[in-house]
Structure 1
Amino acid sequence: MSDSSSIVRPVADPVSTVLKWILLATGLLTAALLIWTTQATYKGAPPQPEKFVSADGSILMTGADIVSGKGGFQKADLMDYGSLYGMGSYYGEDYTASIMKRLALATRDNIASADDGAAFAYLPKERQDAITAKMRDDLHHLDLTASTVTLPGELVAAIVSVRKATADGLLHPNRKAGWTAAQSLSPALAVKTADFLIYSALTTVAWRPGTNYSWTQNWPYEPLVENAPTGETFIWTWASFGFVFLAFGA
């Protein structure tokens, strides 16, 4: 028989115990942060109106069209070519940024034609400034929290033209841009995909009610529509960097 008194028993490791508690605390903290950020994300997400209409009540696009267009965006795997809200591949365009600017330019041109009967480029600077201000006001004061959003006539015409150009661009190759036609999209689904992209672009410029910044905190930066980073953008960007490096250090 072996002598039980000769058995070497392991000595308790205080460091191991502390590390276990740190791991538990870290898990609980990250879970709490995940729950909080998820709630904040859904609370601050842009609303989706039931329909967008012109002044005479004609329906331009519906919430169902936008949802179908989101499916088309995913079906064509457009995020592996371009990006949405800055997320995705950087090989192609950022759809929210490019379409927002195209809508702004087209709306400005339409206002110039309607009010002055001339192209924007040929108007005197005072008129150009006034028209640009009106275009910005029209875009900023779209109330996306309403179930039915009534759009100014000049913006309606801009959306119609940009939607057609966007849908056509999805269905036809563009070798210079490195784009092959989206074979997975039918012509009807391409139009709805364009609706989804246009709605996404509108959220980058339409102001949240009671504020002077958009649903994306004025992203992307675009002087044409006075989109400039907000204070919260800088705060949360640097706060996230700070937390990351603090965690690395710990």
Structure 2
Amino acid sequence: MKYGKLWLSFAFVVVASFIVLGYYGKEIYRLAPPIPEQVVTEAGNVLFTEQDIRDGQNVWQSMGGQQVGSVWGHGAYVAPDWSADWLHRELVWLLDHWGQEEHGTSWEDLEAQPKAALRARLKEEIRTNTYNVETGALVVSSDRADAITAVGTQYSALFGQDPSL
């Protein structure tokens, strides 16, 4: 029995697989969302820099966060989804802040109509792309900057030495 054609077919499949893998690996890298050089308020105050973001990624990586999901394939069940947690806390902070500022009560205690108006405002605030490709800066409103500061304080305590967390 001659195996030449089988080996040739096998070699073709292996080479083609690596070509496809290389192409899509490059595309994933090329299309990755940008990390801003700095996040600034509308007034120009720097909240954090690209290096701060990378340092935060290193904290997550030092805890093995990237290995939980990639090795076991169910990271969201084992380790917290920090991005989702941050966004949730930021959005809740904004809604509570606006509820207090505009209606004198917390988000939870508002009636349906003011809640709907604040949800629409929140959607516009969060979904508007304020990243400037030329400067590499992400510009956020003063309210969002306050929310980022509040959530950042909570995360500093969480990953720091605060025994209550």
Q: Which residue of 2 aligns with 1:153?
A: 142
SS of 1:93's equivalent in the other structure is coil
* Distance 1:18-1:145 versus aligned 2 partners, 3 A rule: farther
Cα distance between partner residues in 2 of 1:61 and 1:87: 31
Aligned alpha-carbon RMSD (Å): 2.7
1:209-248 correspondence to structure 2 within 5 Å = none
1:37 to partner: Cα distance = 0.7
1:87 to partner: Cα distance = 6.8
1:74 to partner: Cα distance = 2.2
Cα distance between partner residues in 1 of 2:163 and 2:80: 13
SS of 1:149's equivalent in the other structure is strand
8 Å CA contact 2:40, 2:138 repeated in 1: yes
Report the residue type matching 1:92 in the other structure: A
In the alignment, structure 2 segments of 5+ residues that lack a partner are none
1:45-194 correspondence to structure 2 within 5 Å = 45-79=32-66, 88=75, 90-144=77-131, 146=133, 147-172=136-161
Residues 45-89 of structure 1, C-alpha deviations (whole Å, 9 max, x = no match): 010111111122111111111122222322333446789xx8747
8 Å CA contact 1:51, 1:63 repeated in 2: yes
- Rg (Cα) greater in structure: 1
In the alignment, structure 1 segments of 5+ residues that lack a partner are 1-12, 176-180, 182-250
* Distance 1:50-1:118 versus aligned 2 partners, 3 A rule: same
TM-score, scaled to structure 1? 0.57
* Distance 1:31-1:74 versus aligned 2 partners, 3 A rule: same
Task: Write 1 or 2 for the structure with the bigger share of helix.
Answer: 2
Cα distance between partner residues in 1 of 2:92 and 2:85: 11
Q: Which residue of 1 aligns with 2:9?
A: 22
1:161 to partner: Cα distance = 1.0
Higher relative contact order structure (alpha carbons within 8 Å, sequence separation ≥ 6): 2
